[in-house]
Structure 1
Amino acid sequence: MARDPQVRMATTEDLPWIHELRHRVYARELGQHPPHPSGQLHDGLDGDNVYLVVAHGPVRTGFVSVTPPGAGRYALEKYLTREELPVLAEDGVFEVRLLTVEPERRSTAAAPLLMYAALRWIAARGGRRVVAMGRTDLLPMYLATGLRPAGRTVRSGAPTFEVLTGSVRELSRAAAGRHRAAVDRLRARTDWRLDVPFAFPPDGCEHGGASFTAIGTDFTDLGRRHRIVAADVLDAWFPPAPGVRAALAEDPAWTARTSPPAGAEGLLARIAAARALPVETLAVGAGSSDLIYRAFGRWLTPDSRVLLTDPCYGEYAHVTERVIGCRVDRFRLRREDGWRIDPDRLAATVAAGDYDLVVLVNPNNPTGVHAPAAGLRPLLAAAPPRTRWWIDEAYIGYAGLTESLAALAATDPRVVVCASLSKMYALSGLRVAHLVAEPATAALLREWTPPWQLGLPAQLAAVAALGDPAYYTDRWLRTRALRRGLAAGLAALDATVTVEESVANFLTLTLPPDGPGAARMVAECRRHGVYLRDLTPLSPAYGGRAVRVAVRDTAENTRIVAACHAALETLRPGPAAGPATPRTVAATAAGPVG
């Protein structure tokens, strides 16, 4: 039997109830709006808002509204300009508002549960700051959550409101720390249906891969994997090479119980031979993330200065800013430039910045754009001697292995190349990666590598994979054809949707500014068993309207197109149930608004 209450994202079927409850509370109960003959209260931000709902069985009992930064406007701007409230101009600001609970449920845990759900949803989408409005008579409740007054009060109808703000990181720490007992009580009795885990991740980083929540992280029913399309992660659509499967299947009992070579010596030798590199320039890790944490933890301190491209793979910002606490700048890539790196502009930025580390993901994730090696070599040669460059080549096979800068990294002490075998070689589940650096740098990182870093299945699989380049070259070429077919299918759905192909195994879908945001699109596709990646957390440049879609096989690509078609049809603006009212910012009779 399902636990009660249930927390989930609102669907289109919930909207009439949301509008009706808002009318009862804010028009009739609080008198903030004149009653409307339709009995419903609409909002100018309805197309951008995301609603989270609490229900007890079939009965809906409360909701909260979240406005992502991609909307380009906030309800608070009805009362205050961005000059008067500068926090609204920062990156990653989410507005929480309209926490509304049915009158008979206001003494239950519905309001705290909605507050926590909003925080988890925002944290999972890379939110940096929350802004909200809370009734002054309920101020102690807001302060207890960790929100703090922003020094502004506003009046809406009869109630007076305090403008509140809080760092998502600090609010999350409070929820996982001093409020942990209360949060644990909520968890024990809640049927959690959101697309993020109930608890905050132990490392504080909201990683991708929400599709595994549909399979079940308890692994009790792996058959569920056949019912979903995991296009939110960039795992290969194809199986590993026949030799890999044979190596893993030959004697799985022995492979599972046997300790591997402590230093992965055979794998290092195979990488050296496959890439024509001296073995002393190599170090291995359990995926790129292992190498990132290990290397950056050795090289960087809170006094270090780091330059990241924006957009960029989110793990780099997490490690440098949150884990180590470096001073991090962004080199903004521009949509109007096709997300390409301008070498001259980057060179000027690096020369002026006195950076300890510059990170380039090439081909870039999430833009999928590749910077040719011929353009990068002069840039690297002219860079300041003290600046180290980390080149992430997780998807380089899709651009061509001849485009790798690994040979340069083997001789230049300022350059390190990180290369994952996970995505290109269909080994994501085994976690295998290596880096290339000049011998002294590589030797230091090997010293800080624990023995048996890679399990025996991973070593066996990686050696076999590198021994069959023809198989993978064919799969990479096939990926290009599948990507083009997927792009054509998505582009044909709606003339207002922009499809941007990449050189890798994914593409980007950008929604029009006058339609639903990426979060609603992603949520609607999940109702059809298709998981896509909302790019809002990765960069404000996406405006909350970009979705990354992984390339899958022909059948699953067909499901992706069908789900996107159904989602766009469902979310397409239709006739309003009543005239739009001014943007509503109000307190619930039960608790915070945002």
Structure 2
Amino acid sequence: MGRDLQVRAATPEDLQWIHELRHRVYAQELGQHAPNPGGRLRDGLDGDNVYLVAARGEARIGFVSLTAPWVGRYALDKYLTRDELPLLDEDDLFEVRILTVEPRWRATGAAPLLMYAALRWIAARGGRRVVAMGRTELLDMYLAAGLRPVGRTVHSGALTFEVLTGSVTELTKLARDRYATTLERLRSAVDWRLDVAFAPRPDGCEHGGASFTAIGTDFRTLQRRHEVVAADVLDAWFPPAPGVRAALAEDPAWAARTSPPTDAEGLLAEIATARALPVETLAVGAGSSDLIFRAFGQWLTPDSRVLLTDPGYGEYAHVTERVIGCRVDRFRLRREDGWRIDPARLSAAVASGRYDLVVVVNPNNPTGRHAPAAELRSLIADAPARTRWWIDEAYLGYVDPAESLVGLAATDPRAVVCTSLSKMYALSGMRAAYLVAEPATAAQLRRRTPPWPVSLPAQLAAVEALRDPAYYRDCWERTHVLRRQLAADLAGLDEALVVEEAVANFLTVTLPSDGPSAAQLVAECRRHDVYLRDLSPLSSEYRGLTVRIAVKDTAENARIVAACRTALDVLRPGADSLLAMPTGVPAAGAAR
């Protein structure tokens, strides 16, 4: 396989060849279906399936078929009921089918490449598990790929199939480990035409945005910051308060060379005053991620069971699943419900007492929806005593400080509130955050906190920010005005776009199902130095069609709208555009 090897989503011309190859293999060669005079074998899911094709030059090599959960049915439904195979009712399950390779290419790496492409496509659409039917005579090959039997066998024509399943993350890791040399060679050789990066990040999570890669992570081209619109992260569009800027400018050399107060005593005291909390209920960290890693690493083990809202801030899934290895369930939020938490449904999910931790981001990122404090208080009060609730209030200032649960967290050992000062106070670069818990829990966490958890510049900045609430209230109010205008301007680009703005400093735009994918829109906007966040990997509920856009100032919002307008023009069916995702572009993720 040379540099003319290509992996792509099937074209209409490819579909004709797929039907012919399926007939040659599954009717004439294997006897699963009766041959037909037309020499083509179609499928009842053809209109809903996604086909990925491998080709070399003009020669098509093979294909794989994918059925997404939003289709509402799978090929396996023809053989087994949902009672017989409950796996089919999982929210994030994708069916991988009919991986078929032309006879002359079967001794090559075509099949592993197609399976790897399928896993990457599925991961980019929020898929977490796959199900497949594997021919029993090839069972060893499927087992070697990491798939495992579920204990069900089906028969079709002359063939017998074993029903197999596997985790997308584990299968991808195994593929990259087992075929590392081949995949690395292909990475530079293949013309990767899919709208997902060839390789995921090593840790599987995208922390922060891709926009800093355009500015330059080596800091040699910082002037690029004036050219790049970083709407893929939720940093504030406004500067920090005047007192913050003055404190940092007064003696930066001293602030840089001087060790800060060991335990951030002054910052803790300022937080206690600003929030009317006992100082012994507080712990600080270098951003909310620091607190998440530290607290969860102390409280949870691989035997712990955790419930996360879905969609939700991706750092929680990363820490619980990939770092600690907890057993994680999802509480699915749905577009038809306005992405809101149904308190009765959540209460029922938690009532069993099987969860050690429930995580609620409020307002939620990325949906922007806010759950009333009264509802959450009732949920926590009614939940089993063994279940701890982690409430992330990073964006609560955009709603109402009175909606905070810090008062409850300061007295109830079942509740912990985490609040970042980064986004609300324009201090993302400083890295400062705090959590509130009853005194014994907070003290336990402080004992696991190393000295100097927050830098001196960050402590100076955070203290001054907390002393100027009027400045920030004005900024937050102006953010609402900017968001509403941005939403109206984006909605005016195309009546088929679904713009949802909710309550925080961001909004989402969902593309029509017959148009470009979110990844394609993101890639095209990057050509104009406008960076958006593709939400597809967060949840299959987004169906690969939704982007999140941070609210910026008036000028940058205008650039966002202009870039989206141009991108949509380029990506409309029939327009000439490069729809591939470059192999070096990082996969979209879930960070703030």
Using the size of structure 2 for normalisation, the TM-score is 0.77
3-state SS, counterpart of residue 440 of structure 1: helix
Partner of 1:430: 430
Q: Say which SS state the counterpart of residue 507 (structure 2) adopts.
A: strand
Q: Which range moves more in the overlay, 228-237 or 416-425?
A: 228-237
Please name the residue that 1:119 is paired with: 119
The structure with higher relative contact order (CA 8 Å, sep 6+) is 1
Does 2:368 correspond to 1:368?
yes
Q: Could you list the per-position Cα deviations for residues 359-389 of structure 1 after superposition, in whole angstroms to 9, with x for gaps in the alignment?
A: 2221122221222334444544455444432
Give the deviation of 1:254 after TM superposition: 5.4
In structure 2, the partner of 1:353 is 353
Question: How does the TM-score come out when normalised to structure 1?
Answer: 0.77
- The structure-2 alpha-carbon separation of the partners of 1:564 and 1:28, relative to structure 1 and needing over 3 Å to count, comes to farther
2:392–2:417 Cα contact (<8 Å) kept: yes
How far the C-alpha of 1:122 sits from its partner, in A, is 3.1
The aligned runs of 1:288-307 (5 Å cut-off) are 288-307=288-307
| Residue 524 of structure 2 corresponds to residue 523 of structure 1 | no
Give 3-state SS (helix, strand or coil) of 1:353's partner: coil
- Does residue 15 (structure 1) correspond to residue 11 (structure 2)? The answer is yes
- Does the CA-based 8 Å contact 2:314-2:538 persist in structure 1? yes
Q: Which residue of 2 aligns with 1:231?
A: 231
SS at match of 1:369: coil
Tell me whether 1:549 sits opposite 2:555 in the alignment: no
Counterpart CA distance in 1 for 2:422 and 2:381 is 30
Q: Does 1:393 align with 2:390?
A: no
Equivalent AA in structure 2 for residue 279 of structure 1: V
Q: Secondary structure at the match of 2:450?
A: coil
> Post-superposition shift, 1:525?
3.8
The alignment covers a number of residue pairs equal to 563
> What's the offset of the Cα at 1:446?
0.8
Question: Counterparts of 1:22-101 in structure 2 under 5 Å?
Answer: 22=18, 25=21, 49=50, 51=52, 66-74=66-74, 86-96=86-96
Equivalent residue number for residue 412 of structure 2: 412
Matched letter for residue 408 of structure 2? L
**How far does the alpha carbon of each residue in 1:192-239 deviate from its partner, in whole angstroms, 9 at most, with x for none?**
787766555454545563555655666665566666544333222333
Structure 1 segments unaligned to the other structure (5+ residues): 576-594
Report the AA paired with residue 393 of structure 2. E
Mapping 1:464-503, distance limit 5 Å: 464-503=464-503
Change (3 A) 1:537 1:348: same
Superposed CA RMSD: 4.5
Q: 8 Å contact 2:238–2:475 — kept in the other structure? A: yes
8 Å CA contact 2:196, 2:519 repeated in 1: no
Q: Which amino acid aligns with 1:527?
A: E
Aligned AA for 1:49?
V
- The residue type equivalent to 1:237 in the other structure is W
Once the two structures are TM-superposed, the CA of residue 523 in structure 1 deviates from its matched residue by 1.8
Q: How far off its partner does 1:449 sit?
A: 0.9
Whether the 8 Å CA contact 1:522–1:532 is kept in 2: the answer is no
Give the direction of change, closer, same or farther, for the CA distance of 1:443–1:124 in structure 2 (3 Å limit): farther
Cα offset for 1:392? 0.8
The answer as to whether partners of 2:313 and 2:365 remain within 8 angstroms in 1 is yes
Aligned residue for 2:488, secondary structure, equals helix
State the AA in 2 paired with 1:406.
Answer: V
Write the letter of the residue equivalent to 1:522: A
Shift of 1:481: 1.0
Q: Secondary structure at the match of 1:312?
A: coil
Q: Which amino acid in the other structure matches residue 172 of structure 2?
A: S
In 2, Cα distance between equivalents of 1:142 and 1:216: 42
Residue 49 of structure 2 contacts residue 65 of structure 2 at CA under 8 Å; is this kept in 1?
no
- Cα gap change, 1:345/1:164 in structure 2, threshold over 3 Å: closer, same or farther? closer
Deviations 1:486-530 (A, max 9, x none): 222233344444332211012233455x5358xx13323421325
> Gapped runs of 5+ residues in structure 2?
29-34, 576-592
- Determine the C-alpha separation between the residues in 2 that align with 1:197 and 1:247: 42
Fraction of identical pairs, as percent: 69
Amino acid at match of 1:280: E
Q: Displacement of 1:414 after TM fit?
A: 2.7
Q: How does 1:166-315 map to 2 (within 5 A)?
A: 166-187=166-187, 200-205=200-205, 207=207, 209-212=209-212, 229-248=229-248, 255-315=255-315
